[in-house]
Amino acid sequence: MKPLPVIGACCAPGAQPIAADDAQALADRFKALADPTRVAIVNRLAGADEVCVCDLVEDFELSQPTISHHLRLLREAGLVEAERRGTWAYYRLVPEAIDGLRVALAG
């Protein structure tokens, strides 16, 4: 798991050149949001403190493995984090990660 690198402004007028590594790291995080299901999951998590996986499986009309797959990608990108409590797993947003992307889009 990467330590969630902090990348400065890059994509609005006036931004300074960024290194190839940073472009790669940014692309990786944007890739996590490059799917409508994952955008919807993030949106769902943004509306509550935490959400049980079982609720996500009910909300979206996708198989449980597919939801699990998307959650993993979001987790690996550092955008969400999971906590296991007994039989259930609860997912939360990582606001700092979203902030990081917003900052990167600034000028």
Partner DNA sequence: CGGTTTCATCGACAGGTGTCAATCTACCAG
Partner DNA sequence: CTGGTAGATTGACACCTGTCGATGAAACCG
> Which residues in this chain contact DNA in the complex, by CB under 7 A?
31, 34-35, 37, 52-54, 57, 62-73, 82, 84, 86-89
Q: Which of 97, 6, 105 is nearest to 46 (CA)?
A: 97
Tokens at 35, concatenated: 């799917």
Q: Which entry of a copy of itself, DNA, none binds 93, CB below 5 to 8 A by partner kind? A: a copy of itself
Contact status, residue 79 vs residue 32, Cβ threshold 8 Å: yes
Which residue's entry shows tokens 């079982």?
A: 54
Strands 51-52 and 80-85: unpaired
Q: Report the residue from 2, 5, 6, 27 that binds a copy of itself according to the rule CB under 8 A.
A: 27
Which residues of the chain form contacts with a copy of itself (CB under 8 A)?
A: 10-18, 20, 23-24, 26-27, 30-31, 33-40, 42-44, 46-47, 93, 95, 98-99, 101-102, 105-107
